[in-house]
């Protein structure tokens, strides 16, 4: 599983990364997490509101920071 956190480094972007790591730990999964901070690359993903999460090259959420439990559900179904 390959994950990308799309965001310019704001507090919400960092919170999404933290919650994603906690969700992975909760599920006992390991994944490579890349941070994409370049605005042009973020827009190329079709994301207009950050933070956003990409799982295996699919944008699964944008514009909010879900709870650890919500992220665990997303990751488990990926």
Residues known to be catalytic: 10, 13
Question: Do the beta carbons of residue 16 and residue 51 sit within 8 Å?
Answer: yes
Beta strands, E only, the chain: 2-6, 32-36, 52-55, 58-62
């Amino acid at each position: 599983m390959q994950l990308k956190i799309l965001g310019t480094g704001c507090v919400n972007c960092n919170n999404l990364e933290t919650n994603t790591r906690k969700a992975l730990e909760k599920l006992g999964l390991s994944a490579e997490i890349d941070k994409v901070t370049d605005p042009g690359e973020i827009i190329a993903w079709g994301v207009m509101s950050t933070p956003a999460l990409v799982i295996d090259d699919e944008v699964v959420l944008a514009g909010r920071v879900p709870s650890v439990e919500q992220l665990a559900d997303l990751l488990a179904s990926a």
